[in-house]
Structure formats: structure tokens, C-alpha cells
Structure 1
Amino acid sequence: MEELMRLIPDEYAAPIRARLCYDRISEVRVINRAPVRVCYDGAYYYLCKTGITRDKSAAFIAGEREAEGIVMRACEHSLYTVTETLKRGYISVSGGLRLGVCGSGVTNGQALTAVKDFSSVNIRLPHQIFGCAAGLCAKAVADGTVKNTLIISPPGAGKTTLLRDFCRLVSDRGYCVLLCDEKYEIAASAYGEPTLDVGCCTDVISGIDKTRVFETGIAHMRPDVIITDELFGADIESVRRAATCGISVVATVHAKNTDDVMLKPEFRAAAESGLFMLYAVISPAPRRAVTVFEEASI
């Protein structure tokens, strides 16, 4: 909680401390000159002096440069240290917080060189729910191996939380896990040490793109399993190479269900070739149930 309190104005922090349960908050959204919103138990409310409300007229209204203030506190007033991730739309903060950031791009020809005039931020809070992946783990781990598994959910439904717990469970069973934590939100490492529990046998590579992690990890770390968040079509070839090397891959993708995944050409080709053996679909909040499909049923 303290990292969130450091980022937001004291007037926002006071009702969160006094009135809200931190574990039920997944987002704090701030748009300049607009009502401040909180995602609480999977639903959006306005943040107000007494906590949360559906009444927009009671909400805190962000200042005209509120987003910039939050960004500057997130990077400890050193924008140059977060330039590369800002160009990709986010800032990672210790403790696993990630800020989605909107603003104006600065370009040099076709290249994006910086982001300025910050207009809004979405502070996303990680949560560790121990045991939430136990059912998936029971189906994915069999006969001494981990099945290639794709976790499917729309944004904000809990896929990273599920993936984190799966990583912990598999690692604590003694499998050598290589965790590609590209955006510092799964292990939330600070100074080389995970601040969230990802298991005792997990090697973590943070802040590096998936292609490079797959290449170097396979060559030098000898993992049994590679775990990574948010696959895109361009990443499928890296997954395929790992599979042909005898390494299992567990990853996530943004989609509502398996039908949506099959609309993505690279993922359809992966399914047709049997690359993933299990598909775990998370239903949206508030239910957030996990339904597991065998490859043959897709």
C-alpha cells in the first residue's frame, strides 16, 4: 500500500487508508480535470472523501496537471530513467505497481523519442492470492512434466495473478522455472530480488523482451519451464522453438475466450499444430472462474 500512497495526493490516500480494503483495489485511474476512479471488487466507482461512490458529483476532481505529478513521483523526478518504458506506454514501480500512461508523443522522423504532456494514468495494483492456481496446476503438471498452457482473459480479469501463483506452485515442486517478467509485474523485482513470491526454484529476468529471454534462457539457464505474460503473435515462434528444445511454456494472452484467440492467425496456427496442450480461460469479474480446456477440444 505504501507505494500507492507515495504516488497519489494525500487527499486521495486518506479515504483509501481509512475506508477501503487494499486487497480489493485493482486500479486507481486519474485523468486531468476529471473525476478520480477506483476499480474495487472488479467494478468502477468514483473516489470521494468518504471512500467510493456512484455519485460523480461527490468525486475528487483531478488537477490540471495531476497525471504529471504522479508520473514524476513514480520515476522519482528522473524522467530519463523511464524513457524507454514510457515510450511503450507504462512505468514500473517497486512492489509490482504498473502505471499505464497517456500523453503526447515526441517523434524524430518515424521514431518515438519521448512522451510529454501527461494527460492520464492508470495505476494497476498487483495482488498475490496463494492457491488460486492450484486447480490449474493439478491439470497442467503430470508425469513429471508441465504441459504447454495458455491462460486467456480480458485485461484486468486476473491472468497475471493466476500466472504468478502457478509459477510459485510449479517452482516449489522443484521444477527449474525461468520467469520472463518483462514489465516487472509478476515477480516485481527490486535490486535483483523478487518482492512477490514466485517460488524457490525460479530464475527471474526482468525488463527484457521475450525473444531475447527465450534465446538466452534456453542457451544458458536450462529451464524446465519458461513462464511469461502477454504473448503476441510475434512471440509464437519463440514458444515453438522452446517446445522443440523440450522446454515447457506457460503464458497468457488477452482475449475473452478461446474463440477470440482463434481469430488471431498466429495463435490459430499454434492451436492447429498442437503447440499448447491446455487453455485456461478466466471469466470476468466478479466471478473470475477458471475453466480449463484440453487442446483437442479447441
Structure 2
Amino acid sequence: MLKLIAHLLPPELYERLRRLPDSVHAGLEEIRIREERPLEIVSLDKSGFLTEDGGWSSNPQQAFRPSGELCRKLLGRLTGHSLYAMEEELRKGYITVTGGHRVGLAGRTVLERGDVKAIRDIGGFNIRIAREAVGAADKLAQQLADAARRSIHSTLLIGPPRMGKTTMLRDLARIVSSGAWPDTAMAGWPGRRVAIVDERSEIAASVKGVPSFDVGPRTDVMDACPKAEGMMMMLRSMSPEVIMADEIGRPEDAAAVREAAHSGVAIVATAHASSLEEARGRPILRELLHDGAFSRCVILGRSRSGFEARVVALQHAAPTAREPTAARAAGEAGT
């Protein structure tokens, strides 16, 4: 996994990281770099620290502490040595780089009329490594299949950070777009036109408009575009049958989701929440769930046995022309 981001790292940092144990490399998820403080590694959901000689330790006192000079070199590589050109990304607090990898930033903010204009004196970096997992959503796709439409149900995927929401969304796009339905009962179902609104360039990892990840042959991607505006643009111009977007939660997102739903388009989106109850505690998500914008909710999490995805059929799912209300199970039931 480290090789995926080698081009982003100053050589002196890469050489230390390269000496980490193979088991850490295999599950590498995040590299958290803080100026003059212990360098933290997250691998397979476990946190540890990089030592001076490239080892792994649970003791922060033994950790390598990146200097200010090293952090400046890292920032230069991340921004192509042009902070001005990356001003908009820096203002949002993160940079998405080639390959779909996302780098969170921390430092001193510069305000203008009460809004964040920029981030200066950046001394904190969180490099989140994106990985493609073809087949990760095969089992989930079976549970989300809409037999009446021979497509996918409108679905909200929820879970806390680093729970695989974007990975699942990406693989669902591949399955739906290619018609690679993973069940003999779905044999002959066509691939569907999918529109991905990739505001943070993490789903498709597009480079100059071309996706780096496999999101299917019938998929169009609107890259680096605000979700609400992107969904409306796709509806007007690309006649999608399914729209997918990451991390909805703003009022304008909800309005776009409703418009798409009223147009007969299935919506598959993600949001931050640890449970359905927590999602309903967020006003925008509560309204969408109550209004029937989504007919399924997937709760992603980890248990003692590992990763798990629980599918819930939502009570307030809106009826479709081909699926009368009486055909839906009353109440909510896990599948």
C-alpha cells in the first residue's frame, strides 16, 4: 500500500516507512504526521507509532518526530510546490491527490468575514490511503437488488469514518453499471446508466476527467463538483438511472436527492452515522429517511468477527409505478 503514495513522500520519510513490518504495510490505512510530534500509523484499524529506525511501537515516546523542514517538504509535494494553485482545496481542509488518496490538513486558519479563507502554518497531515476492492459489495448488491426495476434500491449507506462507505459505493457503481449482478436470479439484468458526483475525487479518483478506479462501463463522473449542483447537472444532461454521491448532509444535498427521487432515479449515497438512530438525529437525514427518499439503509460496522453490513428496509419507502405500496413489508426489518 505504501507504494501507492510513494510519490507524495519526501525520501527520508518514505525510507523509514518502507522498513515497517510487512503486516503493517498490508493493512495500511492512514499515516498521521504532526510536526515535532510522534508520527502515527493506522493499520487494520490498529494505531501505533513509527520509530526512528522504521519500526512499529505502541509507545509514543519511542516514535519518530517529523521536523518542520520535513513537513514543509511534504506540503510542497502535495501541492506541486504551488500553494496558491491549491488555495480552494486548502480552504476546505483537505487535498485529494492522484489515486483518490485524501490528505487532511490542520494548522492556523485565516478568516474573512467569519468564514475560513485559507489554512496557514500547516503542521498536521492525515494521509488516508484509498484502495480499490473489486467484489467487496457483491453480497450487499444481492440484498439491495430491486427486482421490480431490475436495478438497485435507493439506499443510504451509513457508518463512522474509515468503515468502508466509499469503497462499498465505488464497487456498487461497478456492479450496477456493468450488470455484473452476483446472483443467478439476476442473470440477464441489464447494466444501468450510473452518474457519480465525486465532490472530493475519492470515489472514481479521476485524473483529468478519467476515472482511475473501475466504476463500470456505463458510468459518468462529475468530478470535484459540489454534490447538489452535480446531481442536478447530471439529471439535466446525462439521463442517469442511478445517481451515487458521497457524504450527503446539507440542505441543498437533500433538495437534489428529492428532485432525483421524484424523477424516478435511484439514489445511492453515504453519510456519517454509527446507527440508524444516530442518522435520524441529524435533521437533514431524518427528513430524507422520513420522506421516503431511500427505501434501504445499510449500516456498516465492525464486530468481533470482523466487518459487517446490516441492511434495513425502511418503513416510509416511497412507492414506485412498478412496486405498489402493499408489496412492501410494514415496519422495518433487517435483511
- From 269, 272, 275, the equivalent of 2:290 is 272
User: Structure 1 regions of 5+ residues with no counterpart?
Assistant: none
Match of 1:10 in 2: 11
Match of 1:43 in 2: 46
CA contact (8 A) 1:95 1:188 kept: yes
Match of 2:164 in 1: 158
- Per-residue deviation, 1:260: 0.4
Structure 1 SS opposite 2:213: coil
CA 1:188–1:283 in structure 2 vs 1: closer, same or farther (change >3 Å)? same
- Per-residue deviation, 1:17: 3.0
Match of 1:112 in 2: 116
CA 1:129–1:3 in structure 2 vs 1: closer, same or farther (change >3 Å)? closer
CA contact (8 A) 1:233 1:264 kept: no
Rounded to whole Å, the distance in 1 between the matches of 2:54 and 2:71 is: 22
Matching of residue 62 in structure 1 with residue 66 in structure 2: yes
Task: State the AA in 1 paired with 2:307.
Answer: R
- Per-residue deviation, 1:107: 2.6
Rounded to whole Å, the distance in 2 between the matches of 1:53 and 1:131 is: 33
**Larger RCO (CA within 8 A; separation ≥ 6):** 1
- Per-residue deviation, 1:198: 1.0
Task: State the AA in 2 paired with 1:289.
Answer: E
Match of 2:101 in 1: 97
CA contact (8 A) 1:227 1:249 kept: yes
Matching of residue 175 in structure 1 with residue 197 in structure 2: no
What are the residue-to-residue correspondences of 1:106-145 with 2, within 5 Å? 106-143=110-147, 144-145=150-151
CA 1:188–1:137 in structure 2 vs 1: closer, same or farther (change >3 Å)? same
Match of 2:29 in 1: 26
Rounded to whole Å, the distance in 2 between the matches of 1:171 and 1:15 is: 41
Match of 1:243 in 2: 261
Matching of residue 191 in structure 1 with residue 191 in structure 2: no
- From 200, 205, 228, the equivalent of 2:245 is 228
- Per-residue deviation, 1:65: 4.6
Q: CA RMSD in A?
A: 1.8
Matching of residue 257 in structure 1 with residue 261 in structure 2: no
CA deviation profile, 1:91-140 (whole Å, cap 9, x unmatched)? 11101111101111223333433221002010010111121111221122
Rounded to whole Å, the distance in 1 between the matches of 2:267 and 2:246 is: 11
Matching of residue 148 in structure 1 with residue 167 in structure 2: no
CA deviation profile, 1:129-176 (whole Å, cap 9, x unmatched)? 121111221122222132110001101111111111111111111110
- Range moving further from structure 2, 140-149 or 11-20: 11-20
- Per-residue deviation, 1:23: 4.3
Task: State the AA in 1 paired with 2:49.
Answer: Y
Structure 1 SS opposite 2:84: helix
- Per-residue deviation, 1:285: 7.4
- Range moving further from structure 2, 7-16 or 44-53: 7-16
CA 1:125–1:285 in structure 2 vs 1: closer, same or farther (change >3 Å)? farther
Work out the percentage of aligned pairs sharing the same amino acid: 31
- TM-score, normalising length: structure 1: 0.94
Matching of residue 295 in structure 1 with residue 299 in structure 2: no
Rounded to whole Å, the distance in 1 between the matches of 2:250 and 2:212 is: 30
Larger Rg: 2
Rounded to whole Å, the distance in 1 between the matches of 2:26 and 2:237 is: 38
CA contact (8 A) 1:187 1:194 kept: yes
Structure 2 SS opposite 1:80: coil
- Range moving further from structure 2, 109-118 or 127-136: 109-118
Task: State the AA in 1 paired with 2:308.
Answer: A
- Which aligned runs of 4 or more in structure 1 are off by greater than 4 angstroms? none
Task: State the AA in 2 paired with 1:40.
Answer: S
- Range moving further from structure 2, 163-172 or 60-69: 60-69
CA 1:15–1:72 in structure 2 vs 1: closer, same or farther (change >3 Å)? closer
- Range moving further from structure 2, 13-22 or 58-67: 13-22
